[in-house]
Structure 1
């Protein structure tokens, strides 16, 4: 039986990049990968509020192509390669209310943040993975990509659905070349972004956050486990997928939603 120390060191020597890694699910993923021995690089728009952070940080807005190139160049110069790429960047910051509230700029921004940032970063870092014939790419999507809520997630859902399709196509292309590509679709997670989302909609509806949370659970069809996920629970799935234990998993879209998803896939 393996010791805890051996288990925790399964990513020793691996270099990982986590986008959007200073908050929420991304922050939890960073912590879990470091626990497993990986050298972790984090990129986000704003400097982390962690004076004792042990990871390397690159400030960048990955919705802009030139910023993606800046990150890729910095990684190649300092580290030479990436073994694990976690495309966690994403946001649902677009107006609710349906199609008539969304402008061309909203649609473009939704695609830049939730789809094209990952596409560009993959394109910049994947060649080195193919050269070394090993690597894992994880795209953090959302159950919204398959279960859109027109009142609040239309643009976000469309962009995540496109990410799901792109991820599957990329996985098929590179599987025989030693690189695995997997999608993770979280349901409701108790993050800072979710708290802000609930507070904003509660204010608009003139109800409490607790009432808004209950309405959200009802709108998505209920969560059998009865609560939102902790970010650390989603991070644990991501850790498993990048570990050698998941070496035969590629091209899949793994849903982690407390039983919420209403159909059999």
Structure 2
């Protein structure tokens, strides 16, 4: 599969670290030309990916990113909407303001909606394209006192992804969703540390709390970013050309639903 994406232009939002970086690396290994976005340029870029600084929670950013991509490359073949995060405080409904809800929706839903809207006309014109939206398993199993805003925003992303797949499938464009469970990333570590501070506990106690909320993982561990990226690479490949409108849980078996 070393050259199965040769000549393809791929955008990975939030692509400089964690799951996003692993996805960029896997698609790059497949021969794609990689574009990554993040709010801050990484200090190291060993693979030479084309970088665009963007805060995709800001409404104007998507059009700026799309224009730069199309001016430089003239097309886009793969979009991976990975930018996102659990921004809201814990504690349930009473702790959450309108601003918390709006911030979560802007980053976890509207960033993908806007990027897709800005780049889909090019995909429609070329009658081909792949969009993969990165969601989370807690969109289906929300943890009320930790992930309420995040779960709701990603659940909306799931519904949007299915609707978009139905709309653009006849135009040669596939849209799928990947929903990771617990993944061992710096973002997860930062989340646990912030939870420890807000709850006045130790990092170890906060980690145990998160894992108790998640439940027992049948495989006995968190995923690695590369394990999420392996599925994204497959979904972007010609081998997945009949797959669209699907949502794939990658959670080590922790979800109680099928």
**What is the TM-score normalised by the length of structure 2?**
0.97
Larger mean Cα displacement after TM superposition, 202-211 or 179-188? 202-211
Is the contact between residue 87 and residue 100 of structure 2 (CA under 8 Å) also seen in structure 1? no
Instruction: Report the CA distance between 1:206 and its aligned residue.
Output: 4.5
Instruction: Report the CA distance between 1:212 and its aligned residue.
Output: 2.8
| Equivalent residue, structure 2, for 1:78 | 72
CA distance in 1, matches of 2:31, 2:45: 20
| Equivalent residue, structure 2, for 1:3 | none
| Equivalent residue, structure 2, for 1:64 | 58
- Gapped runs of 5+ residues in structure 1? 1-6
Is the contact between residue 221 and residue 262 of structure 1 (CA under 8 Å) also seen in structure 2? no
SS of the residue aligned with 2:31? coil
Instruction: Report the CA distance between 1:214 and its aligned residue.
Output: 2.8
Is the contact between residue 178 and residue 250 of structure 2 (CA under 8 Å) also seen in structure 1? yes
Instruction: Report the CA distance between 1:208 and its aligned residue.
Output: 3.8
Q: Work out whether 1:261 is the aligned partner of 2:246.
A: no
Question: How has the CA–CA distance of structure 1 residues 88 and 51 changed in structure 2, closer, same or farther, with 3 Å as cutoff?
Answer: closer
Instruction: Report the CA distance between 1:215 and its aligned residue.
Output: 2.7
CA distance in 2, matches of 1:83, 1:218: 40
Q: Work out whether 1:19 is the aligned partner of 2:13.
A: yes
| Equivalent residue, structure 1, for 2:2 | 8
Is the contact between residue 22 and residue 44 of structure 1 (CA under 8 Å) also seen in structure 2? yes
CA distance in 1, matches of 2:142, 2:215: 12
Q: Work out whether 1:238 is the aligned partner of 2:253.
A: no
- Gapped runs of 5+ residues in structure 2? none
Q: How do 1:9-48 and structure 2 match up within 5 A?
A: 9-48=3-42
Larger mean Cα displacement after TM superposition, 41-50 or 204-213? 204-213
SS of the residue aligned with 1:65? coil
Instruction: Report the CA distance between 1:218 and its aligned residue.
Output: 2.0
Q: How do 1:94-243 and structure 2 match up within 5 A?
A: 94-243=88-237
CA distance in 1, matches of 2:45, 2:27: 19
CA distance in 2, matches of 1:165, 1:112: 16
Deviations 1:64-95 (A, max 9, x none): 12111110110110011110000001011211
Is the contact between residue 12 and residue 36 of structure 1 (CA under 8 Å) also seen in structure 2? yes
Instruction: Report the CA distance between 1:186 and its aligned residue.
Output: 0.3
CA distance in 1, matches of 2:195, 2:58: 29
Instruction: Report the CA distance between 1:222 and its aligned residue.
Output: 1.3
SS of the residue aligned with 1:85? strand
Q: Work out whether 1:87 is the aligned partner of 2:81.
A: yes
CA distance in 2, matches of 1:69, 1:90: 18
Instruction: Report the CA distance between 1:53 and its aligned residue.
Output: 3.7
**What is the TM-score normalised by the length of structure 1?**
0.94
Q: CA RMSD in A?
A: 1.1
